[in-house]
Amino acid sequence: MSDWSWVWWNWNLVGDLREMLQYEFIRNLFAAGTIIAVLGGVVSYLVVLRRSSFASHALGHIGFSGAAGAVVFAVNPFYGLLLATTVSGGGIAVLGKRAAQRDVEIGTILAFMLGLGLLFLAFYQGYASEAYSILFGQVVGIDNAQVVLTFETAIPVLIVLGLVYRQLLFASLDEEVAEAKGMHTMLLGLIFMLALAVAISIAVTVIGVLLIFALTVTPAAVAVRLAKRPLYAVVLSVLVALFATWAGIFIGFYEIEPTSFFIVTIVFAIYVIVRALPPLSRLRVRLAAARGSGSRARLPSGVPVRADRPDDSPHPPADSETG
């Protein structure tokens, strides 16, 4: 390989990848990005199911203040992030699921927390680059210790989520019945919020607080449009997050623009394509019908069609008696 080849990529992707992986910071980025995408993909499904995307947005911003505060006190910003997001996430959870959907209260607290973050930044002299990396993700700054920390935080959360998966799903889908069945819906909500807080905290190191939605909301927004089973949706959501993260890091290595931009753009592109699919398929059906092939044959397979139901018979006797 000649000395200029690393600044531009060719279509030999395997060769490109091998080239890239010689750099430690890229290896770290791939490792951290992978675990972030897995946890982000899982958590994002719950975010969409519980309609908590504003809470997730708020947690990211509150995390910014925590990180800024940690910088002032010369602590690893990650710990500040984790502290701020878990405490405020726990607070939101204790107030209940309906509170997590309440945007006015969350917005009020959010504004104050951001103000606090600004204050911390004012205390800190060399804030510009530090703030920039928290807001938009630090691409080259992930060292080995950070990767280990990311894994140490994410793996236990994934295990806990796997353990409570069923109950959490039930409580998210049908809270009242879950409560009547004796489930601890508040505890489950708390587990969800803490998982979200951790997912956000580790994702910030790659993608930054402002772009956090790309990994905590959009993957599931794509998945729920394609999969009707929760398990499939979770898997799909993880795959979308993984693909976007890997591809984003890959392109970001060769291009001058920031990696987080590519991750966000790829996720968004997938979302746009998926949103555009149903109208396109409707159009196709309509075109097919117009050609006379008919859309009646397009019944979904496996659906038993009851022939004995007198669908075409009128029902006047049943309701006319009280008229």
Interacting residue ranges for other proteins, rule: CB under 8 A: 49, 51, 162-167, 169-170, 173-183, 224-225, 227-231, 233, 300, 302-306, 315, 318-319, 321-323
Is the Cβ of residue 174 or residue 257 nearer to other proteins in the bound state?
174
Nearest to 43 by CA among 147, 161, 204, 133: 161
Decide if 217 contacts 241 (C-beta within 8 A).
no
Q: Which of 92, 211 has the CB closer to other proteins?
A: 92
Q: What angle is formed at CA 52 by the lines to CA 47 and CA 58, rounded to 5 degrees? A: 110
User: Looking at beta carbons only, is 141 or 278 nearer to other proteins?
Assistant: 278
CB of 302 to other proteins, least distance (A): 8
CB 98, min distance to other proteins, A: 9
CA torsion, ordered 12, 18, 19, 25, to nearest 10 deg: 130
The pair of structure tokens assigned to 261 is: 């931009």
Q: Which residues, 6+ apart, have CB-to-CB distance to 285 below 8 Å?
A: 295, 298
Least Å from the CB of residue 78 to other proteins: 30
**Minimum distance, C-beta of residue 182 to other proteins, in the bound complex (Å):** 2
* Burial (Cβ within 10 Å: 0-12, 13-18, ≥19) of residue 38: buried
Q: Which is nearer to other proteins, 292 or 316 (CB)?
A: 316
Whichever of 291 and 315 has its CB closer to other proteins, that residue is 315
Closer CB to other proteins, 312 or 319, in the complex: 319
Any alpha helices (H) in 73-212, and if so which ranges?
77-94, 97-100, 103-123, 127-136, 144-173, 175-180, 185-207
**Token pair for 97:** 């699921």
* In the complex, minimum distance from the CB of residue 179 to other proteins, in angstroms, rounded to a whole number: 7
Q: Report how far Cα 291 is from the mean position of its chain's Cα atoms.
A: 42
CB of 56 to other proteins, least distance (A): 17
Q: How far apart are alpha carbons 4 and 109 in whole angstroms?
A: 50
